[in-house]
Amino acid sequence: QVQLVESGGGLVQPGGSLRLSCVASGRIFSIYEMGWYRQAPGKQRELVATITGSGITNYADSVLGRFTISRDNTKNTVYLQMNSLKPEDTAVYYCNADIQRSIFINSKANYWGQGTQVTVSS
C-alpha cells in the first residue's frame, strides 16, 4: 500500500506564510510527478502546483510568484511554501503523486492524500 500524508495546514492572517509537507510512504519503487491541489467550499478541486521528478515546476496563475513547490526525493516528500496568503487561498489542500510500486510499469498509479485545511483570515 501507498500513503500520502499532508501536514502544515492551519489558520493564518492575510499576508502570512505557511509551509505544507506531504510524505509518501509504503511500497514505493519510484515517484514521478508530485503536486498540490486545493478545493474551496462549493468549488471544484483545482491545481495549485506540480513538480516532476527532475524538478520541472508548473503553477496556477493565481499562485504564481507567491507559492513555491519543491521536493526532496531522498525523503519522498513534496513541499509547498505559501507566502503572501490571501483569503481566497482558503481551502483544503491535497497532495497528489504518480507512484510506481515495483519494477513493473503497470504498478504505476495515482494517489491522493487526505487533505489539510488552510484558512486565511484576520
**Would you place residue 42 in the very low, low, confident or very high pLDDT band (cuts 50, 70, 90)?**
very high
- Quick one: pLDDT at residue 51? 98
CB 18 within 8 A of CB 9: yes
Query: Does the pLDDT at position 105 exceed 90?
Result: no
The mean pLDDT of 45-73, rounded to a whole number, is 97
CB 79 within 8 A of CB 49: no
- Calculate the alpha carbon distances from 58 to 9, 13, 69, 93, 105 in Å: 21, 26, 9, 16, 25
- Quick one: pLDDT at residue 106? 87
Query: Does the pLDDT at position 49 exceed 90?
Result: yes
- Phi, psi (deg, nearest 5) at residue 107: -85, 0
Q: What is the pLDDT of residues 67-92, one digit of tens each?
A: 999 999 999 999 999 999 999 999 99
- Quick one: pLDDT at residue 110? 97
